[in-house]
Structure formats: C-alpha cells, structure tokens
Structure 1
Amino acid sequence: MKSKTFAAWLAFLGGPVGLHRFYLHGWRDWLGWLLPLPTLAGAYGVLRMWSLGQDDGLSWVLIPILGFTVAGCCLTAIVYGLKKPEEWNARFNPQAAPDAAAGRTNWATIWAVVLALMIGAIVLMASIAISFQGYFQNQVEEGRKISE
C-alpha cells in the first residue's frame, strides 16, 4: 500500500533526488533517476557563486535550475496531498478499496501540503528574482560595452 501522506512528505523533503518517484514507481523509474541531475547542476551553481562571487555567469544560469526543481517537487507534494482518496487508491493502490486508509488525508498530509506551499512559493520567487537579476545585469553590462 502506497501512503499518500508518506509520498507527499517524500516529494517535499526528498523530491529533488527522486525519492517520491522511487517510492511510487520503483527503482526502474527513469524520471526518478533524472531528477538528481538538475539538483546537482544547481548545487554546483551555488558552489561556483560562493567561490567565484556574484559575477560568475554560469552560476546565474545554474542556480535557478535548482530552485525550479525544488519548486516543482513542492508542487508535486501539494498535488499528492490534495488528491482524493479514491483517485489516490485507484492510481497507486489498485488492489485496495477506494476508501482505503493509505489514500486518506490526515494532519500530517495537511502539514506537508502547507509547508510545501510555503517553501515552494519562496523558492520559486527567489529563483525568478535571481534569473531576472542575472539577465538584467548582463544587459546593463552589454549596454555599457556598446556605449563605450
């Protein structure tokens, strides 16, 4: 039986490394194996920015990838947590009754959804801000080069 609450928490806390995908679809899930790639690329961007400073152009590209991956996993946690028990059990527990306990919503599910919404929104807004800041800084630099 695949628990909706556990899947929502896995998507929220371990989603960027694909834990929720492995829990729901097994170790052969290719999307679960692909999820760590943008996470590692974004983490590399953070390390580059820490070591090379804010003028590094590659880090401005890589850091939002991490943010969008985390925000997408938070969205997945929200979707899992808000699924109706009948829909959850039909998809992930087809052998169980439609109202089986694994698909029910409880307080732990609600907290996973609330925290995923809060953290996901913060990370998404920060990623968008970092993307725009990097883009506009690049445009200002190019404008200075043209005007000289």
Structure 2
Amino acid sequence: MKSKTLATWLAVLGGGLGVHRLYMRGPRDPWAWAFWPPTLVGLVGVWRMRQLGQDDMLSWALIPLLGLSLSVAMLSAIVIGLTPDERWAARHGAPGEPPVASGWGPVLGVITALMVGGAVLMGTIAFGGQKFFEWEQRQAGADAGR
C-alpha cells in the first residue's frame, strides 16, 4: 500500500523532479521523467540570469518553464491529497485490503501546495508578462530608430 501522505509531501517537496510519480508508479512511468527537462532548463535560466543579468533574453524564456513545472507539481500534490481514501486504496493498495484513514498529513500537504503553487504561478505570470512587455518596448524602440 502506497501512503497518500507520503505521496502528497513528495509532490510538494520533490514534485518538480517527478519524485511523487516515481514513488507511486515506479521508474517506468514516462510522466515521472517528463518533469526533469523543464525543471532543469528553468534552473539553467535562473543560473543564466544570475550570471548575465536581467537583460539576457534566453533566461526570460527559460525561467517560466521552472515556474510552470513547479505549479504542475503543486497541482499534483493537491489532486493526490484530495483523493478520497477509498479511491486511493483501490488504486494503490493491495486487493481486498480496507482503506486506511490518512488523517491530517495530506490536508497539511494540500494547504502547503496551495500556498506555494499560488505564489509560484502568480510569480511566473508576473515575470513572464513583465519580460514580454519589456521585449515589446525594445522592439518598438528599435523600429522607431530605423
């Protein structure tokens, strides 16, 4: 039987790397490995911005991938944590085994995921919007200078 509490908290703490999917479905789950590329590419964007400054346009495109990956991970934590115990036992438990009450662990994980996910998603939208409009201004200035 897989623990719903552990799966929820793995999604909160390591969801950007698909750790929760590896726990629930194993290393053959292709969606678990799909979390790695956008997270790592987004971290490269963060590194580029720290090294090259805020004028690096490639980092503008890469950083939102990290935000979206983390937002998806927090959504996964919410879905896992809010899954009814009976349905969780049917999917991830031994056949014929009664459901185990999960208690407050998943609820606290969902609350944390809502806070972190909301902040990350809003930050990603704000960052992406700001950089898009800065790019538009640069393009308009370049066109006016011609």
Smaller-chain TM-score bracket? over 0.9
Residue of structure 1 equivalent to 2:77: 77
Deviations 1:92-118 (A, max 9, x none): 225143x421xx331221110100000
Consecutive aligned runs of 4 or more in structure 1 exceeding 6 Å deviation? none
Alignment identity in percent?
A: 44
| Structure 1 residues 18-97: aligned runs within 5 Å | 18-93=18-93, 95-97=95-97
Cα distance in 1, alignment partners of residues 29 and 44 from structure 2: 25
| 2:89 partner amino acid | N
Cα distance in 2, alignment partners of residues 64 and 42 from structure 1: 7
**Which runs of 5 or more structure 1 residues have no equivalent in the other structure?**
none
Cα distance in 2, alignment partners of residues 82 and 5 from structure 1: 10
| Structure 1 residues 90-129: aligned runs within 5 Å | 90-93=90-93, 95-97=95-97, 99-101=98-100, 104-129=101-126
Cα distance in 2, alignment partners of residues 28 and 117 from structure 1: 29
Cα RMSD (Å): 1.1
| 2:99 partner amino acid | A
1:133 aligns with 2:130: yes
Contact 1:81 1:105 in 2 (8 A): no
Cα distance in 2, alignment partners of residues 146 and 33 from structure 1: 43
Compared CA separation, residues 87 and 146, structure 1 to 2 (3 A): same
Cα distance in 2, alignment partners of residues 68 and 11 from structure 1: 14
Cα distance in 1, alignment partners of residues 89 and 72 from structure 2: 23
| 2:59 partner amino acid | S
Normalising by structure 1, report the TM-score: 0.94
Measured after TM superposition, the shift of residue 2 of structure 1 is 0.6
Normalising by structure 2, report the TM-score: 0.95
